[in-house]
Amino acid sequence: MHERTLPLAIIACAALILVPLTLSACGPETLAVGFEPTLLAEHDSPVQSVAFSPDGTFLATGTGDGTLRVWRKGPHRFSRWTLLHALRISTGERLVAYSHDVAFSPDGSTLAFGLPDGTVRLWRLSEEGDELQATLELTSRPEPGRISSLAFSPDGQSLAAGAWDGSVHLWQVADGALLGSLDKHSNGVTSVAFSPDGTTLASASLGGVTKVWDATTMSLVHQLDASSGTAGVAFSPDGSMLAIAGMADGDRELWSTADWTLIRELESARGGQGNVAFSADGTLVAAGNAWYDVQVWRVANGALLHSVRGHTDSVNSVAFSPDGETLASASLDGTVKLWQVRDW
C-alpha cells in the first residue's frame, strides 16, 4: 500500500479553493467474487451506503467517519476489485446513520458524496479511472441539514438530496445552483429516488410518510402513509412500481405508480434502517434489515427467494450490479460484502 497526495480543486459557491487530499491506491486489498459471499473490505467505521457505477466497473461506499472509498473491477467476470481511493473528507464526527450517502451519475463520470454539514461533494473520475478529482461543492445553506440520501436525475442534469432535518433539495449539477427545496417532512428524510423518466421524485422519512413530487414544478403529487418509519424507496426500472421499505416487520411493499394502489406485500420481511433496490431487469428486489439479513424477493409474486446472514450488524445499504449478477451489501459492522445472485 502506498499513498500519494494530489491537489484537488473544489469549487464552492463560486469560490475556488485548492485542497490537498490523500489518495490511497491499495493494490493488495483485493478479493475475487465467488459463489460464497465475498468480503470486499473491513472498514474502521460503520458503512452507511454502497453504489455501483452504471457500467458496473466501480463500487463506492460511504462510512460514518466521512470516508469515501472507490473500488475498480478487473476486466474479467471473476476479476478482483482493487481499492483505488480512500478519501476522508468529513470532519470525522460519527453522526447518526444516513449521513454519508454515495451516488453515481447516469453516465458514471461523477460521484456524489453527502456530508453532515449540509453539503454534497461531487467528484469526477478520470477516463483511465485511476484518479478522482473534485469538481463542485453543493450546499443547502442557509438551512444546512445533514445529508442523508442522494439521487441523480436520469438525465444527470440535477441532483436531489434528502436531509436529516426533513428537507429535500434539488441542485443543477453543471454549476451547483440550488434549484429549490421541497416542503419539509416532519421527520428526517431517509431516502430519495427519481422515476426512470425523471418526471417524479419520491422521498421517504422516519415519520413513515412517503411523498411523491413533480420533479419539474416541485409540487406534491401524492402521499403514502405507513405505520412505521420508512427506510428506503426505489422505482422499478420501467417506472411502473415504487418499492417502499419500512422499519417495522412486514413493511416491504410494492405500489403501482399508475394509481398508487398497493400491488403486493413482500413475503416474510423484517424491518430495519436500510434502503431497497431493484435489479436492472426489474425481476428482483433486495433489502437489508436490522437482523443482519440480506433478503431478495421475486417481484412477480412477492415471494422471498433468499434470506442470507453474512453480517454481524444491521445491513444499511444494498445495490445490484448493472448486469444483475452481483449484489453488494453494506453494514454497520464495518464490512461490505458481494454476493453472486445469478444462481439464486
**Per-residue confidence (pLDDT) for residue 78, from 0 to 100:** 61
**Per-residue confidence (pLDDT) for residue 20, from 0 to 100:** 27
- What average pLDDT does this structure show over 12-17? 24
Higher local confidence (pLDDT), 212 or 87: 212
**Per-residue confidence (pLDDT) for residue 250, from 0 to 100:** 65
pLDDT at residue 344 tops 70 = no
Position 45 confidence tier, pLDDT thresholds 50, 70, 90:
confident
61 occurs within a structural domain: yes
247 occurs within a structural domain: yes
12 occurs within a structural domain: no
The answer to whether the CB of 285 falls within 8 A of the CB of 277 is: yes
**Per-residue confidence (pLDDT) for residue 97, from 0 to 100:** 44
pLDDT at residue 153 tops 80 = yes
Give me the residue label for grid cell 428526517.
188
pLDDT at residue 128 tops 70 = no
- What average pLDDT does this structure show over 197-208? 95
Highest mean pLDDT among 120-134, 146-160, 219-233: 146-160
321 occurs within a structural domain: yes
pLDDT at residue 342 tops 50 = yes
Summarize pLDDT for 208-261 with one digit per residue, the tens. Answer: 999 999 999 999 999 998 877 888 999 999 999 999 998 876 678 999 999 999
pLDDT at residue 10 tops 50 = no
169 occurs within a structural domain: yes
> Which stretch of 65-74, 251-260, 318-327 has the lowest confidence by average pLDDT?
65-74
Q: Mean pLDDT score of the chain, rounded to an integer? A: 81
Position 159 confidence tier, pLDDT thresholds 50, 70, 90:
very high
Q: Which domain holds residue 59?
A: 17-340
255 occurs within a structural domain: yes
Query: How long, in residues, is the chain?
Result: 344
CATH of the domain at 84: 2.130.10.10
Percent of residues, the chain, with pLDDT higher than 70 = 79
How does DSSP assign 33-88, residue by residue?
--SSPEEEEE-SS-EEEEEE-TTSSEEEEEETTSEEEEEEE-SSTTPEEEEEEEEE
- pTM of the predicted structure, to 2 decimals: 0.85
**Per-residue confidence (pLDDT) for residue 137, from 0 to 100:** 80
Higher local confidence (pLDDT), 271 or 125: 125
- What average pLDDT does this structure show over 255-283? 89
3 occurs within a structural domain: no
The answer to whether the CB of 268 falls within 8 A of the CB of 307 is: yes
- What average pLDDT does this structure show over 52-60? 94
CA 324 – CA 342 distance, rounded (Å): 7
**Per-residue confidence (pLDDT) for residue 139, from 0 to 100:** 76
The answer to whether the CB of 289 falls within 8 A of the CB of 271 is: yes
pLDDT at residue 31 tops 80 = no
**Per-residue confidence (pLDDT) for residue 308, from 0 to 100:** 85
With CA atoms as reference, report the closest residue to 159 among 169, 145, 148, 146: 169
pLDDT at residue 263 tops 60 = yes
pLDDT at residue 334 tops 70 = yes
**Per-residue confidence (pLDDT) for residue 340, from 0 to 100:** 83
Count of structural domains within the chain: 1
**Per-residue confidence (pLDDT) for residue 246, from 0 to 100:** 85
pLDDT at residue 23 tops 60 = no
The answer to whether the CB of 51 falls within 8 A of the CB of 73 is: no
8 occurs within a structural domain: no
